[in-house]
Amino acid sequence: MHKGCLLLALVSMLCTGSCEQKATAAINVYEMSPDGYEVFLYTEKGDLELEEEYMDAILELRVSNPDKLSELTLRKMDEEKQSSSPTSVSHYPTLVIEKDGQTIATMSGDKTKEDIYSLLRKTLSYN
């Protein structure tokens, strides 16, 4: 009798645990608008190690071109809002560079600061 009740309690606990609504992860969106371009960096909140290389490259570009680069702003959005935005991102971090509303370059995942910096300089034409 006790085994049957224990089994029933275990099954009901597993069912209710798997039916819980998944918490929506927060997404950080860093934005810059240099010389007619739009630069977006999408990161997951709390994934600072992967984000660091991207931020270092962006900040290095900003420091070396202060007259051409706008301020970097940060806004937060949840995954549901991000998945409905025009630029849908499935891996984090992701760098997206747009010009005239068109995506002209992207980079995502675990990359070196040098690779990210090179893409930014080449795409934004900062030699």
Mutual angle of helices 48-64 and 113-124, in 10-degree steps:
40
Q: How is the chain split into domains, by residue range? A: 26-124
pLDDT per position as a tens digit, 1-45: 555 544 444 445 444 444 444 445 678 888 888 878 889 999 987
d(CA 40, CA 8): 50
d(CA 6, CA 96): 52
pLDDT recorded at residue 78: 61
pLDDT per position as a tens digit, 73-111: 877 766 555 444 546 787 889 999 999 889 999 999 999
Taking phi over 0 as left and psi of -120 to 50 as alpha, with beta for the rest, 48 belongs to alpha
- The model's confidence at residue 113, banded by pLDDT at 50, 70 and 90, is very high
* Between residues 36 and 126, the one the model is more confident about: 36
For the domain made up of 26-124, give the CATH fold: Glutaredoxin (3.40.30)
